[in-house]
């Protein structure tokens, strides 16, 4: 990969200014007033996008808007929009025909109250490992997490943001480790190492973090007391969710999984829930409509980030951040920070890895880093960064399905916190030794 084009400091800062405007409008203003519901996410992105269009130099207005539109209409973005639409339709239809309630009842009947939280975390880890995608896992488990929290009650252990965060955090375990994850493929290809070798490095970071967080969930879960009465499980109504999870684990494309799930929920509704076809079409419409704000935010964010990239913001970051590296620890720290910051600017961990991968390989070769460790850092740090941006697809999807603020989820993402800490420790103490 060619060296990133040099961007003057003034131009680079202007290129990054839409992101700064967004952070000031959404994060800064919300902190100032003490309420993250004050400024809607969509409004913050509208204002930062307008600023981005206005600061794009040397192009007529129509061409600036075309740059924004190309960013918003990126094929990966449109693919996500399709997922949002089908996920909304499936989630609402499954809820209305009783599939969500039946699945929650099954979970409550199988697991004691103290095991609900660690059980949900393990389920998210397993499904994401098998599926290779955090998004598919979030779609499958968020409604269940929301239902469990609603049954338990409102204490910390039973709050909806807490349980949703358990599912979201666990979904990144498999996304980071799975052999079929796109982040794994991108990281290993860019560094020229095998997936198995990267996996062997990753388990030294992910497994200890997961075990610690699992123990914490057992402690938190042990303080949760549920007064839910013994419930009967309607196995027929569970079939749509069971089918979605099984097909996802098998490895079927998430769009096909959701389509089959919708058909299954439709059949169950007609057969067992005494619901007519027109009513169910209306439920699907409600679900699609509920995704409207999420889709708008995604398009606005992608368009704004497209402007940043067009204006040289990403190149500026890469050029400036790669300077002044000293020693192996400094090189590893810079690669980790670089992919995390670029992920903030792209809201896509795979794209961040691809963008930084070439430079990371150059840094790795220059400072004698093990390509397997570099690939692990790229994958892990991009996943950690993706968790903590309020406009990341996984958090946005979970918040939309649960009807809560994205920011309410972030403080409860224990596993990504622990994973980030493990990365820092691995750089400071240079472990695992075999890969240094």
Counting the structural domains of the chain, the total is 1
pLDDT at 46: 95
pLDDT at 1: 40
pLDDT at 214: 95
The neighbour count for residue 253, using CB atoms within 10 Å, is 12
Distance CA 433, CA 55 (A): 48
Nearest to 332 by CA among 430, 223, 213: 430
∠ CA 418-421-427 to the nearest 5 degrees? 145
**In-domain check, residue 360:** no
Residue 234: give the domain boundaries: 76-292
The answer to whether 107 and 144 are in contact (CB under 8 A) is yes
Distance CA 192, CA 177 (A): 17
**In-domain check, residue 137:** yes
Report residue 6: phi and psi, to 5°. -70, 135
Question: Tokens 């949002």 identify what position?
Answer: 84
**In-domain check, residue 305:** no
**In-domain check, residue 333:** no
Question: Tokens 């349980």 identify what position?
Answer: 163
pLDDT at 329: 93
**In-domain check, residue 363:** no
pLDDT at 33: 83
Distance CA 30, CA 390 (A): 13
pLDDT at 436: 67
Residue by residue, pLDDT tens for the chain (436 residues) are: 444 467 788 899 999 999 999 989 888 888 888 777 778 889 999 999 999 999 998 899 999 999 999 999 988 889 889 988 998 899 899 889 988 788 877 777 777 777 889 999 998 998 888 777 788 889 888 988 988 888 776 555 558 999 999 999 999 998 888 877 888 888 998 999 988 888 999 999 999 999 999 999 999 877 665 555 455 667 888 888 888 878 877 778 888 988 999 999 999 999 988 789 999 999 999 999 988 988 999 899 999 989 999 999 988 988 888 887 888 999 999 999 999 999 998 888 888 998 899 889 989 998 999 999 999 999 999 999 999 998 888 999 999 999 898 989 999 999 999 999 999 999 999 888 887 6
**In-domain check, residue 375:** no
pLDDT at 422: 96
The neighbour count for residue 48, using CB atoms within 10 Å, is 26
**In-domain check, residue 261:** yes
The answer to whether 232 and 105 are in contact (CB under 8 A) is yes
What distance lies between CA 9 and its chain's CA centroid?
31
Tokens of 324: 């002044």
**In-domain check, residue 144:** yes
């Amino acid at each position: 990969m060619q060296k990133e084009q040099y961007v003057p400091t003034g131009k680079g800062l202007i290129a990054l200014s839409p992101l700064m405007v967004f952070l000031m409008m959404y994060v800064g203003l919300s902190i100032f007033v003490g309420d993250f519901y004050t400024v809607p996410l969509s409004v913050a992105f509208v204002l930062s996008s307008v600023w981005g269009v206005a600061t794009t130099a040397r192009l007529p207005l129509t061409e600036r808007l075309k740059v924004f539109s190309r960013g918003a209409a990126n094929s990966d973005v449109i693919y996500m929009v399709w997922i949002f639409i089908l996920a909304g339709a499936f989630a609402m239809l499954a809820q209305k025909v009783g599939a969500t309630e039946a699945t929650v009842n099954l979970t409550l009947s199988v697991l004691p109250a103290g095991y609900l939280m660690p059980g949900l975390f393990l389920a998210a880890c397993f499904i994401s490992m098998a599926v290779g995608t955090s998004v598919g896992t979030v779609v499958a488990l968020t409604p269940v997490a929301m239902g469990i929290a609603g049954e338990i009650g409102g204490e910390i252990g039973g709050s909806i943001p807490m349980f949703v965060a358990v599912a979201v955090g666990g979904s990144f375990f498999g996304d980071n480790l799975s052999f079929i994850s796109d982040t794994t493929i991108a990281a290993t290809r860019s560094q020229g190492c095998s997936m198995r070798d990267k996996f062997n490095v990753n388990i030294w970071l992910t497994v200890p973090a997961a075990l610690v967080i699992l123990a914490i969930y057992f402690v938190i879960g042990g303080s949760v007391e549920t007064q839910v009465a013994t419930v009967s499980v309607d196995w027929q109504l569970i079939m749509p969710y069971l089918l979605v999870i099984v097909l996802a684990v098998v490895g079927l494309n998430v769009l096909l999984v959701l389509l089959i799930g919708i058909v299954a929920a439709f059949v169950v509704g007609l057969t067992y829930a005494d619901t007519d076809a027109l009513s169910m079409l209306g439920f699907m419409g409600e679900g699609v409509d509920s995704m409207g704000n999420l889709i708008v935010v995604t398009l606005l964010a992608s368009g704004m980030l497209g402007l940043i990239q067009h204006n040289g913001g990403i190149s500026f970051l890469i050029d400036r951040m790669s300077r002044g590296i000293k020693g192996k620890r400094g090189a590893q720290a810079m690669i980790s920070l670089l992919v995390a910051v670029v992920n903030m600017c792209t809201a896509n961990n795979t794209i961040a890895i691809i963008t930084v991968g070439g430079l990371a390989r150059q840094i790795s070769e220059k400072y004698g880093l093990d390509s397997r460790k570099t690939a692990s850092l790229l994958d892990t740090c991009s996943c950690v960064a993706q968790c903590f941006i309020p406009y990341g697809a996984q958090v946005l999807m979970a918040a939309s399905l649960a009807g809560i603020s994205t920011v309410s989820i972030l403080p409860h993402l224990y596993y990504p916190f622990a994973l980030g800490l493990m990365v820092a420790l691995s750089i400071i103490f240079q472990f695992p030794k075999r890969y240094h």
